[in-house]
Each structure stands twice: as C-alpha cells, then as structure tokens.
Amino acid sequence: MEYIHPQTPEQAQQLQQRLAEQVITTDDFETVNYIAGVDVAYDEAKNKVVAAVVVLDAATFEVVESQTAIEPISFPYVPGLFSFREVPPLLSAIEKLTTLPDLIVCDGQGIAHPKRCGMASHLGVLLDIPTIGCGKTKLLGEYMPPPEFKGASSDLIDNQQCIGKVLRTQNGIKPVFVSIGHKISLTTAVDWVNKLTPKYRLPETTRQADQLVNRCLKAL
C-alpha cells in the first residue's frame, strides 16, 4: 500500500482509523527465516529524522543486512500520531533492503494505542508484512505486574479489552510491552519477543536497530 502524507492532524486521524480497520490479529505467515528490527531517532534542531532497519537471521540472530535513511521531519509532533513522523523514513530504509524480512519487530506500539494503530500496525499494514510492537514503556492501559521471572506476562487492559502483554524478558528487571502489529497473534508475538531476549531486556532486533540509529545520529 502506498504511503499517503496527511496534510493535517485531522487527515492523519482519518487515515489512522482506516489503517486500524485493516489490521489482522491472527498468524498469517509460515516460516520466519529473517526477522528485522526498526528504530528512529530525531535531531529536532536540524529538523532531521534518522531511520534504521537491521535484518537478522531468525535462528542465529546474526546481522544479515542493515540500511538507514535520513529525511526531513515531515509531520508535526502530535501525541497519538507519532507514526506519521516515523513511518516515512522507515519505509525509505526498508525499500533499500535486498533481504526482505518475514517479520518486523518495532520499538513502539502496535494495537496498544488509543486508536489501535501505533507505529507497528501502521508499518505492517502498509508493507503487508507481519509486525510486532515491543515498547519500552506503556502508552496506555492497566496491568498487574507480572512475576519476576523471564517469560512471565500479564494482560495489558484498556476499556475491558486485552490490547497487549506485559512481558518480563529477564529475571527481576522491568518488563516490556508487547502488542500485535499486523498479521500475528498476541501469543506468537510474545513467543518471539521472549525468544529474541536471551541476554538483555530488549529484543536483539531492537538493540541492533537502536545502536545503528544512534551511530547515524551522531554522524549528522
């Protein structure tokens, strides 16, 4: 699906609603050979946004390919509409890939979003690729803290609906917030994030993309 640049926050909200209606919340893929992480960073003073995508071998977590894109910030800072700042440069970086990922893990939210369409869902629907939202912090919802051991989780609830899982990825450390992006079930999303965190709190996909995006930002 082609990206549409909204001219106003109102247009963006309408687009967001249409995208949310297209999100698939069940597993719609077969083998995952390549798994990607994406991340963005901003230099507000220079009006630049840096996007990075890193593709890993899904079995070994070795880096197969990485790409970046640096673009002017194309949408204002509006709470709830961050994906309209982040998705355009991410699409530019992903378009450069020669190894297309079977699954993308986003450093942000999927349907755990007020309009049920955070960056992971926005990107997944546009690319027609399965995506997972894995946020460092909660955007909305209530939850009971999960037990302190790796793999423990609890429901993230908003308006009596389960919008994600609060997942402990290492013993005794702060959890992450996992949600469906697109074309994946919540159970499978949690399984992948648990698998991608053998040593650290954040998935290897996010760690690699975050390191790359920060190197690019320093080089601006």
Chain-centre distance for alpha carbon 40: 10
- Distance between CA atoms of residues 150 and 201, nearest Å: 10
The total of other beta-carbon atoms located within 10 Å of residue 147's CB is 12
Instruction: With beta carbons less than 8 A apart as the criterion, state whether 179 and 164 touch.
Output: yes
Coil, strand, or helix at residue 33? Answer: coil
Q: What size, in residues, is the chain? A: 220
Q: Please give the radius of gyration of the chain, using alpha carbons only, rounded to the nearest integer.
A: 16
Residue 172: which region, alpha, beta or left (left: phi > 0; alpha: psi -120 to 50)? Answer: left
- The reply, when asked if residue 39 is annotated as ligand binding, is yes
Could you tell me how many helices (H) and strands (E) the chain has, helices first?
Answer: 5, 8
Q: Bridge partners of 54? A: 37, 66
- The reply, when asked if residue 107 is annotated as ligand binding, is yes
H or E, element range at 77 = none
CA distances for 118 relative to 32, 43, 99, angstroms? 23, 22, 25
Q: Detail the residues annotated as belonging to a binding site.
A: 39, 107
Q: Detail the residues annotated as belonging to a binding site for Mg(2+).
A: 39, 107
